[in-house]
Amino acid sequence: MRTTQTFSISFFIRKKKNQPDQALIYTRITVNGKSKEVSLKRALHTEKWNQTACKMIGTSIESQQVNRKIDDVRSKLYNIYEELLRDEQIIDAEIIKNRFLGIDKTHNTLISLLDYHNLNMKSVLKYGTLKNYNTTESYLKEYLKSSLKVSDLYLKHIDYEFTLGFERFLRAKASLNNNGVMKHMERFKKVMRLAVDLDWIEKNPTLRFKLRFDKVDMIYLNKQDLSKLKNATFNKVTHTTTRDIFVFACYTGLAFADTKSLKKDNLQIGIDGKKWIYTRRLKTNTQVRIPLLNEAEIILDFYKNHPRVINSDLLLPVYSNQKINQYLKEIAIKLKIKKKLSFHTARHTFATTVTLANGVPIETVSKILGHHKIATTQIYARVIDSKISNDIDVLREKLG
């Protein structure tokens, strides 16, 4: 994408078809080799025009008026160009022409699109998702400023080259790996798709850009790791509480946000007369019904008199996601668990070690996790060596 401008103004005459000795004066505005013409609405005899000097010949009153008009037009056009330049906008001949004629159309910009998205998605997207969009927005603004030397950009000037440039900019960030870059590009593509839906642009410049995510090994606790974690003792209360809430999630499959938001009325008696958790996933608003396993029920009973629980509607005293993940890293080091633990590891552990590896049908696991597609749950089934081993043992017995 070009970030420098070449700008010129010239004047010329065009003969009238029905009066070849008469001509109209035009100005030609040229930006980066592309031109637009504007009529000055002034006529003159063709022999009185000096094309080299771009003015009318002579010192008559008519010549003085015409030449003054030409000077005024030139001055106004230069002022418009300087004004657009000062506002750090990308400039083209059509924009200058329309502003000169007073009919300049309001062109939507990237920043106005981001503002529209933030305003209208506030009630649709969850806090964490909006936070991620805000990070992508900050990178887009930084890219505009550092790479293109502008603070904003008309949407019609965003092209495939801009898209590739934004990807290169993100890859230069030491804090982002490939999948991090792709998540930002994915959000950028969604925002540009919104611009098309709003009819702010005719063509989506990100349509040809293909997202390329690296496959990441799923992190979960095997039976030995989970047992080590459950039986460990800690000197810090924060570590003990974090461990307990993490184990609770290992036996319910709940994500962090859903665990943190659990209320006492989410605990109900199910169809079998036993305790169940009835709730909705905050991420997808999907209803989930989870039979409460003994390990999870013990933890709820233990914390029912906790100071942060007893006088509130909460079921558990959950720390912030940032704090819990920090404590989990410290716990992993202490217990010499050589895995990068995060709270989401508990959800993976429920799907693999706790349920699928113990013969729970994948359809049941999918329902408990709140997955819309069973294909999402099948990802877990592929990583369980013990399940593969058990299935093959059954096969051996049948064959033997």
Q: Give pLDDT tens digits along the chain (400 positions).
A: 445 678 999 999 999 988 889 999 999 999 999 999 999 999 999 999 999 999 999 999 999 999 999 999 999 999 999 988 887 776 889 889 988 887 666 678 899 999 999 999 888 887 778 899 999 999 999 999 999 888 888 898 899 999 999 999 999 998 899 999 999 999 999 999 999 999 899 899 999 999 999 887 788 999 999 999 999 999 999 999 999 999 999 999 999 999 999 999 999 999 999 999 999 988 888 899 999 999 999 999 999 999 999 989 999 999 999 999 999 999 999 999 999 999 999 999 999 999 988 889 889 999 999 988 888 888 787 666 666 677 777 778 888 6
Can you read off the two tokens belonging to residue 288? 């989930």
Can you read off the two tokens belonging to residue 270? 């199910």
Residue 95, CB-side half-sphere exposure with 13 Å CA sphere: 20
Helix (H), strand (E) at residue 295 = helix 294-303
Question: Alpha-carbon distance 45 to 262, whole Å?
Answer: 86
pTM over 0.75: no
Can you read off the two tokens belonging to residue 235? 């000197």
Question: Alpha-carbon distance 192 to 156, whole Å?
Answer: 11
The domain segmentation of the chain, as residue ranges, is 7-101, 110-197, 223-399
What is the assigned CATH class of domain 223-399?
mainly alpha
